[in-house]
């Protein structure tokens, strides 16, 4: 699995394709941006899928603020890609 993740991280086109699919799935209303409520819904779904406790409202706020690099009140695709890259890197250990 780690070899597959490393290969994705080293292939910008493949990485962008995966990040775009995740972004589009999270951007429920199709605006091209992820708002706080969309992020919360995605985080709750993921926690349910993997069997971990749901994030608190404060945790969602903290993560949203950390992703919203330009403080626009929404997460754009480039900000989201940074998040996805960090997740993949964390999976590598």
Residue 60 has pLDDT above 90, yes or no: yes
Quick one: 2-92 is in which CATH superfamily? EF-hand (1.10.238.10)
The pLDDT, as a whole number, for residue 7 is: 94
| Cα distances (Å, whole numbers) of residue 49 to 9, 25, 46, 54 | 24, 15, 5, 10
Arithmetic mean of pLDDT over the chain: 94
CA distances from 18 to 13, 58, 71 (A): 9, 28, 25
Positive or negative CA dihedral for 42, 45, 48, 53?
positive
pTM above 0.85, yes or no: yes
């Amino acid at each position: 699995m780690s070899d597959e993740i490393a290969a994705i991280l080293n292939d910008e086109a493949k990485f962008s394709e995966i990040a775009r699919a995740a972004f589009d799935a999270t951007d429920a209303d199709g605006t091209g941006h992820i708002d706080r409520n969309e992020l919360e819904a995605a985080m709750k779904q993921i926690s349910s899928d993997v069997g971990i406790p749901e994030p608190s409202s404060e945790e969602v706020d903290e993560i949203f603020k950390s992703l919203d690099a330009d403080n626009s009140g929404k997460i754009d695709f480039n900000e989201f890609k940074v998040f996805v890259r960090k997740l993949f890197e964390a999976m590598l250990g």
